[in-house]
């Protein structure tokens, strides 16, 4: 078995609890308008076996004290289900906390993956089907099916949502998003992530247009205030 990874970050601090190694898997079916990792969307990447990657990740074990571990991100990690499931099982056997950072845009059949996942970081793009498609190019039925699989598996979830000025920062939208989050299973925390432009230069390097050209970065203080207003209930429990 061989997987394809874009990169590995050894000291991630915003990808789940504690200090984490973050594995960015290659490939994603979505084309989110604000994607800051467009270089992970297509195929390619570095080929690696589960044995090789496990050995590499276990070298970071000393940093995983106080609740850290390994997070699989992307791209969309669910697009390499067999490799992901194998890696999660190997890490669980080694006693490592595992986290899955995903938009839920996989191919289905998530039982083996979720069996060895300790936490899901669920990137909710939008709660409205038409707006979801306009924002990502995908169909909302995929993340809906994934959320149901998480419900059946009983895995806790942190919800994340990118707030883009003029696109996903409206009060009506955030009220609808809150109602949607109410329907999700075992939500422990809701994080509103301020839109940034750090990935814009990658589009030029890839020879691709950037659809949000000219949209300003989201004000961090306003984003924090919106999170406090609409999602305080969940975050008080954390």
What's the pLDDT tens digit per position in 71-126? 999 999 999 999 999 999 999 999 999 999 999 999 888 999 999 999 999 999 99
Res 238: pLDDT: 58
- d(CA 2, CA 124) in angstroms, rounded, equals 29
Q: What are phi and psi of 72, to 5 degrees?
A: -105, 125
> Which of 135, 119, 152 has the alpha carbon at shortest distance from 215?
135
Cα-atom radius of gyration of the chain, to the nearest Å? 17
> Which of 128, 125, 99 has the alpha carbon at shortest distance from 113?
99
- d(CA 172, CA 175) in angstroms, rounded, equals 5
**Encoded tokens for 185:** 């299973």
Mean of all residue pLDDT scores within the chain: 94
Q: Which CATH superfamily is domain 3-59+68-237 in?
A: Aldolase class I (3.20.20.70)
Residue 237 has pLDDT above 70, yes or no: no
> Where are the extended beta strands (E) located within 68-154?
69-73, 97-102, 119-123
Res 226: pLDDT: 97
Region for 67 from its dihedrals, namely left if φ exceeds 0, alpha if ψ lies in -120 to 50, beta otherwise = left
Q: Which residues pair with 119 in a beta bridge?
A: 99
Res 13: pLDDT: 86
pLDDT digits (tens, 9 = 90+) for 25-51: 999 999 999 998 899 998 789 999 999
**Encoded tokens for 233:** 């209930």
Please state, for a pLDDT cut of 70, what percent of the chain lies above it. 99
> Which of 94, 80, 88, 93 has the alpha carbon at shortest distance from 6?
80
| Mean pLDDT computed over 131-135 | 96
Q: What are phi and psi of 156, to 5 degrees?
A: -65, 160
Name the burial class of residue 100, with classes exposed (0-12), middle (13-18) and buried (19+) by CB atoms within 10 angstroms of its CB: buried
Confidence label for 204 from pLDDT (cuts 50, 70 and 90): confident
> Which of 119, 11, 118 has the alpha carbon at shortest distance from 62?
11
How would you list the strands of the sheet with 97-102, edge to edge? 46-48, 3-12, 20-25, 69-73, 97-102, 119-123, 157-163, 187-194
pTM (two decimals): 0.94
3 state SS of 155: coil
Res 66: pLDDT: 79
Exposure letters 162-194 (e unless 16+ CB within 10 A, then b): bbbbebbbeeebbeebbebbeebbebebbbbbb
Res 31: pLDDT: 95
């Amino acid at each position: 078995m061989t997987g394809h990874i874009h990169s590995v970050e050894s000291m991630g601090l915003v990808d789940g609890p504690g200090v984490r190694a973050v594995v960015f898997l290659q490939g994603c079916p979505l084309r989110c308008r604000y994607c800051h990792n467009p270089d992970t969307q297509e195929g390619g990447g570095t080929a690696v076996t589960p044995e090789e990657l496990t050995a590499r990740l276990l070298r970071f074990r000393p940093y995983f004290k106080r609740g850290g571990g390994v997070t699989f991100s992307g791209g969309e990690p669910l697009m390499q289900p067999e490799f992901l499931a194998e890696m999660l099982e190997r890490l669980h056997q080694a006693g490592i906390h595992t986290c899955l950072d995903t938009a839920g845009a996989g191919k289905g059949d998530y039982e083996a993956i979720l069996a060895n996942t300790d936490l899901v970081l669920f990137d909710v793009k939008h709660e409205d089907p038409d707006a979801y498609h306009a924002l990502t190019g995908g169909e909302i039925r995929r993340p809906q099916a994934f959320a149901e699989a998480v419900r059946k598996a009983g895995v806790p979830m942190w919800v994340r949502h990118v707030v883009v000025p003029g696109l996903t920062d409206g009060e009506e939208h955030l009220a609808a998003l809150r109602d949607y989050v109410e329907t999700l299973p075992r939500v422990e925390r809701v994080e509103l992530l301020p839109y940034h432009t750090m990935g814009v230069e990658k589009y030029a390097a890839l020879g691709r247009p950037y659809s949000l050209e000219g949209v300003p970065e989201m004000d961090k203080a306003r984003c924090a205030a919106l999170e406090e207003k609409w999602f305080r209930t969940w975050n008080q429990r954390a």
